[in-house]
A = this chain, B = another copy of it.
């Protein structure tokens, strides 16, 4: 499965965080784009679309050994601390910053040519303006956002001296099959599917939400392109959370279970958090397949009919 040289027609990609929510959806997309896909996780899965490797990337020696073994031409680095709620301020963000620096250095020193790393909307100053990659100030309010932004600053400097291409895909809100159950879309949809009331905040928060298969395809398109620098991987379509949970109510057939205003909104979250997607659309050439309603319908269907993953 690992030939000595080139990999698939598009190259050989190492995907970190490959067993995670987003990573799992990236593997078939990358295989379909002609990549020979190598997936790494502390808890590898099975699957024909990738060759799986077991490694703990928090150990720099393990990361180096993996990269020397696989010798990828491309890197899609998604692995990070993602424990729901806790990730915003966990000191594990610092560990992932350090581990990511070591991983990308190993990748470049082993001859890697192009790396795409997952950034976040939490890098931007949350002042309710549309977030664009060029002019929005990068003033993260959280340790998560600060650690991701710090990684980008360091890797951008490194790519310039080490001579590989770096693109930085900033993720906004996403939902879909495999999402951790405590988050907004699965928790509301599951409550409604189980005929329980779904307690929500006021719902006036404006967000940018994309279905996870579209986010994965956006990362695939970015990896396959030659675009460098930061790129928002998002829908560009502002939507209120009330519209999101309202649509879930209609799709599940239980709009009467919705309890808008039943729980307080977080005082720290911004009123608006929406992406400018001109770089993704015009430079990468990517547009999502699913609109909000179609995407949510896919997510609800997956919650109705869970499949072994």
Which B residues lie within 8 Å of A102 (CB)? 94-95, 98
Q: B91, B140, B147, B154: which contacts A94 (Cβ < 8 A)?
A: B154
Give 1 or 0 for each of A70-96: 1 = CB within 8 Å of chain B CB: 000000000000000000010101110
Q: Does A150 contact B (CB under 8 A)?
A: yes
A99 CA / B97 CA spacing, docked (Å): 11
Q: Is A101 an interface residue (CB 8 A)?
A: yes
Contact with B along A139-172 (1 / 0, CB 8 A): 0101101110111011011101110000000000
Per-position binary interface string of chain A over residues 18-54, scored 1 when its CB falls under 8 Å from any chain B CB and 0 otherwise: 0000000000000000000000000000000000000
Q: Bound state CA distance, A306 and B156, in angstroms?
A: 42
The verdict on A281 contacting chain B, using a C-beta distance below 8 Å, is: no
Q: How far is the CB of A100 from chain B (nearest CB, A)?
A: 9
When distances are taken between beta carbons in the complex, the residues of chain B under 8 Å from A146 are 153-154, 156-158
Contact A161 B98 (CB under 8 A): no
Which residues on B sit within 8 Å (CB–CB) of A147?
A: 154, 157
Check if B97 sits within 8 Å of A162, measured CB to CB: no
Whether, in the assembled complex, A301 has its beta carbon less than 8 Å from a beta carbon of chain B, the answer is no
Interface assignment of A259: CB less than 8 Å from any CB of chain B: no
- Interface residues in A101-119 by Cβ distance below 8 A to B read 101-102, 105, 109
Inside 8 A of A160's CB, which chain B residues have their CB?
143
Whether B158 lies near A94 (C-beta < 8 A) is yes
Question: Is A105 a contact partner of B101 (Cβ separation < 8 A)?
Answer: no
Identify the closest chain B residue to A90 (Cβ): B161
With the chains together, A308 CA to B156 CA distance in Å? 42
Minimal beta-carbon separation of A21 from chain B (angstroms): 23
Given A94-B105, A105-B94: A145 in contact with B157 (beta carbons within 8 A): yes
* Chain B min CB distance to A210 (Å): 26
